[in-house]
Structures are given as C-alpha cells and as structure tokens.
Amino acid sequence: MENEVDKSHVTQFRRIGMEEAYNEDLKNKMAQGLAKIEHTYSKAYDDGKVDAVIHLQKFPALDAYEIKKFDLTVQQAGQDNKVSQTFYIGASKKIYDEDGNAAYRQNKYTLKEGYNLLSERPVFKQFVSKDGAPYEDWIKLNLQNKLANGNHETIFLKKPDFHLEQTLKEYSIKDLTNPQYTVSLMESLYRGNLQLTTFTPKDGQAEKLYVSPNLETGSINVYGADRKQIPTEKLIERNLIAKDFGEKLLQVEKLVQEQKQTQKQEQKQEQKQNITKEHKHRQKIS
C-alpha cells in the first residue's frame, strides 16, 4: 500500500512539472500526518526564476495526499518586480472522443506553463467544461487586471483561425522542412516557451533568435539574443519575414494599437462618469 501511495504522489508531481519537489523534506511532512501541507519549491530558468508554494491535502483515513493548488511567484532576470498567480488543480472528468471512447482529463497547469503565463506569453491548453465537454484554446494572463481573489484575469483568446504551423512558415526559420523539428518547435510554443531557433534569411548568415506566438496580430514575435523584441520593420529589412506577410502585419499592428488607444480612452471616460455619479450621490446623501 505504501508503495502505491508513493507512486500516486510521484505521478501528481510529474503531471504539474515539479517532480523534483517531491523530496525527503516533503515526505517527512507527510509522515507527520498533517491534514494540510504547504511545501515550497524554486526553479531558475535562463530568463528568470519561479518560487512555488504547493498546497496538499490529506485524504481522510489514508496516508495519501492530493495536490489542490500551487502559488507561483515569478521574477524576470534583471527586474525587481515580481508577479504571482494561484493555479488550481481541477477534478478529473470523464470525456469522450469522436469514436465514443472514454477518457479522463483534468483542468491543470504545469510549473513551466505557469511561469510562461506570468512572463506574459500565451499557452495553448486543453480544458473540460462544467458539463464535461472537452475544448481547447490559447490563454494569456492580463497582468494589468487583478481580480478580487488576487489572481490576474485569464483571457481566453479564442483564435480558431490562427494556424501556428502556417504562420511559422512566413518566417525564415531553418529546418521547417523537417517535420520532426516542426512538431517539436510547435509543441514548445504551445507550452508558452520562448523558443530559441535558427533563422537563415536569403543572402544572409544564420542567426539564433527567440520566437513566441502573438495571437493578437496572428503572427510570431521575434526576439534577439538580449530577448528584446525585434520590430516588424526590422524583420522585413533583414529578410527574417516574408515581405508580403510583413507588410500586412504592419497594417494589423497599427489597427491593434488604434483599438487599444480607443479602449483606453473609453475606460478613462467611464471612470470619469463613475466619479461624477459617485460625487452626485454623495451630494444627495449630504
């Protein structure tokens, strides 16, 4: 029985990408039979670090524990500010594929997915609705909008017309003719990673650059070795992007900026109206 419990714990930590967090310190805490445990874990990446607090709850009348949620705090390299989010582990739900075969799926995140979301990169996830219907979508955190529960707003981007593989082919990325490489690159980008790739522009030297999807503009963000984004104008100039696609992208980017500016103005106007209403309400009371 003890071996089965240990296997269950290992599996849970593996599923959230924190297998190393299941260590002797945690096992000693579990041996004490505490009803709830908060276990800390940290990991460093090339561009920052993440600190985790894993919340576990003991099963009644059993020695086994279940991971209920984990809190992540991310600090990017060279920055003082930190951002945090709580990620919950949903209950397993039965789903059915197109052939009617049953399977179980959880709404959950991994450590790296959480890190990438808190780094303002999109992640492609598979979910299960309250009714048990499976669906998938790109998501992103709005770090400018914190909810009442302390978490940042999760934005479901709903971009069914965004085709990652097709979009990647608009860039001078080496080895996209290799199916195995393409699948590996896409899987990494689906997880939200800032992926290092080799660009081979026409009449130019090979160059190592980072890439990440941009769902707002239906494009790929390209970053230099310093992880600073390269403007679309420079991508066109350096033949790192197909010219026609790049010129269309410039128009889309302009439109997106105009929409954001309009939204800001509308929000300011709404705030002014709310302040005016509140002022009038106080005058009536007094």
pLDDT digits (tens, 9 = 90+) for 15-24: 999 999 999 9
% the chain with pLDDT above 70:
90
- C-alpha span between 29 and 39 (Å, rounded): 9
Q: Alpha helices of 44-200 — where are they, by DSSP H?
A: 111-118, 164-168, 179-190
- Rounded to the nearest integer, the mean pLDDT of the chain is 90
Helix (H) or strand (E) holding 21: none
Instruction: State phi, psi for 52 to the nearest 5 degrees.
Output: -120, 145
CA-nearest of 171, 166, 178, 245 to 207 is: 171
The pLDDT score that the predictor gives to residue 107 is 76
- Would you state the pLDDT for residue 133? 81
Q: What is the pLDDT of residue 134?
A: 83
pLDDT value, residue 245 = 98
Rounded to an integer, the average pLDDT of 232-253 is: 97
273 pLDDT exceeds 80?
A: no
Q: Using alpha carbons, select from 53, 46, 60 the residue that is nearest to residue 26.
A: 53
44-48, 93-97, 146-150, 184-188: segment of lowest average pLDDT: 93-97
Specify the pLDDT at position 276. 67
Confidence bin at 246 (pLDDT 50/70/90): very high
| Residue 283, pLDDT score | 65
Q: Encoding tokens for residue 243? A: 């010219």
pLDDT of 284? 66
pLDDT confidence of residue 280: 64
Return the pLDDT at 96: 65
Q: Please tell me which of 87-91, 129-133, 236-240 the model is most confident about, judged by mean pLDDT.
A: 236-240
More confident residue, 284 or 270: 270
Domain boundary assignment for the chain = 2-156, 164-248
Segment holding 264, helix H or strand E:
helix 243-285
Mean pLDDT score, 185-201: 97
* Cβ-Cβ contacts under 8 Å for 148 (sequence gap 6 or more): none
Q: Looking at the predicted structure, is the pLDDT value of residue 250 above 80?
A: yes
Question: Is the pLDDT reported for residue 136 higher than 80?
Answer: yes
| Structure confidence at residue 21 (pLDDT) | 98
